[in-house]
Amino acid sequence: GRVIFSGIQPTGVPHLGNYLGALSNWVRLQKTAAPEDELFFSIVGWHALTLPQDPDTLAASRKDLLATLLAIGLDPKRSILFHQDHNPVHTELAWILSCLTPIGKLRRMTTWKTRLAASRNANDESEVDESLLNAGLFTYPVLQAADILAYRATHVPVGEDQTQHLELCRDLADIFNRTSGRPIFPLPSQLNTISRRILSLRDPTSKMSKSSPDLQSRILLTDTAAQIKSKIRSAVTDSTPGITYDPLARPGTSNLLTILSACTDEDVHAVAGRYEGKGHGHLKADVAEAVEDLLKGPRTEFERIRHEKTFLEAVAKAGAERARERSEATMVCVRELLGLDS
Ligand code: AQP
């Protein structure tokens, strides 16, 4: 059977991009997986620490995210749902892997290069100053590799933005296998799920993101029908008459079409065809309705589950126990191969 692993950071209420790009795939996988497949879905709190977090907000986000995962239909009996920070094996294995990771490989990560570019010296564009960036941002992909390898995962459903990190994970698995002389880690492959990049409603040149300060730029899974309507109505589009799907020339309009086609599970070009002679107002009204139809169920379920404190704690505890048990089997081998077992 396959071992499937994926994670999400508790950096805030998930948005429509997280849902359409990642979480809905997890639910679909759970429905379509073979009985012998194992599924791990983790709330990766340690990853969230790479950026400053307010402790109370982080604590609340971790809990709400677990409630969200349950609300969208993940079943804790079928899938192992757990907090990464409840299983110390992730950091233990991350340390071991970091000792096998060439620094040059980490410097080539696009995510790191983007962080560096963002921290460019304001007075001198050519001067890239990494001295103020924390080491966690740099070694983040190693922790991600540990998340995956701790369970000897074979398949990782993540978006294209994660391809490079997964390649690093495979490299590290391969280095470990070769240096220890025992192929204990399978080389995990990217599970091709429906990959959609949902863009910011305010700036359609960047992706919809949890950390954007502009609250109008994203639709939260917890937004009410009125909030959804108002955010879609104020979405940035363009002044070209009519509706066409052209992501390069018309990113805002195309983003709305992407959202609509994702909600109704149709081909985006087919959807675009229906709106050819219509205006943005018409499209926006239909998008708002489709998003509301999609999110109504999860939202109602979230509002119910989030108050079931005992149940949520029991789910987190059981998930952590199963995750620890499964990863401990890996670590017994790893420690032995390294001479760390007695
Ligand atoms: N806009 C998006 N469109 C499609 N998929 C997206 N994902 C994130 N944004 C979009 C996917 O959601 C999964 C979980 O993401 P994450 O929690 O690891 O956070 P992230 O990728 O860094 O993006 P966020 O959610 O906007 O958070 P911040 O702002 O904190 O960085 C991933 O599979 C991701 O591809």
The structure tokens listed for 85 are: 């920070």
148 closest CA partner among 160, 164, 166, 135: 166
Does CATH place domain 215-304 in 1.10.240.10?
Answer: yes
- Give every CB contact of residue 309 below 8 A, 6+ residues apart in sequence: none
ipTM of the complex: 0.95
85 closest CA partner among 188, 10, 186, 31: 10
DSSP string, 39-51: EEEEE-HHHHTTS
Render the burial of 121-138: b for 16+ CB within 10 Å, e for the rest.
Answer: eeeeeeeeeeeebeeebb
CATH number for the region 3-190+309-338 comes to: 3.40.50.620
Long-range (24+ apart) CB contacts under 8 A made by 103-107 are: 105/168, 105/171, 106/138, 106/139, 106/141, 106/142, 106/168
**Residue 139: CB within 6 Å of ligand 1?**
no
Residues of the chain within CATH 3.40.50.620 domain(s) are: 3-190+309-338
- For tokens 């508790």, what's the residue? 10
Give residue 12's region: left, alpha or beta (phi > 0; psi -120 to 50).
Answer: left
pLDDT tens digits, the chain, 342 residues: what are they? 999 999 999 998 999 999 998 899 999 999 999 999 999 999 999 999 999 999 999 999 999 999 999 999 999 999 999 999 999 999 999 999 999 999 999 999 999 998 888 887 666 666 677 888 999 999 999 999 999 999 999 999 987 789 999 999 999 999 999 999 999 999 999 997 777 899 999 999 999 998 889 999 999 999 999 999 999 999 999 999 999 999 999 999 999 999 999 999 999 999 999 999 999 999 999 999 999 999 999 999 999 999 999 999 999 999 999 999 999 999 999 999 999 987
Beta carbons of 33 and 209 less than 8 angstroms apart: no
- Give every CB contact of residue 70 below 8 A, 6+ residues apart in sequence: 76, 81, 301, 305, 312, 315
To test the ligand 1 pocket, which listed residue (18, 50, 155) has its Cβ within 8 A of the most ligand atoms? 18
Residues of the chain within CATH 1.10.240.10 domain(s) are: 215-304
**pTM of this prediction?**
0.93
Task: List the 80-83 sheet strands across, edge first.
Answer: 80-83, 38-43, 3-8, 155-156, 189-190
- Atom of ligand 1 lying closest to residue 48 CA: 30
Alpha carbon 189 to chain centroid, angstroms: 16
**Residue 298: CB within 6 Å of ligand 1?**
no
To test the ligand 1 pocket, which listed residue (4, 209, 214) has its Cβ within 8 A of the most ligand atoms? 209
**Residue 17: CB within 6 Å of ligand 1?**
yes
Rounded distance from Cα 41 to ligand 1 centre (Å): 15
- Residue 4 forms beta bridges with which residues? 39, 155
Q: Please provide the size of the chain in residues.
A: 342
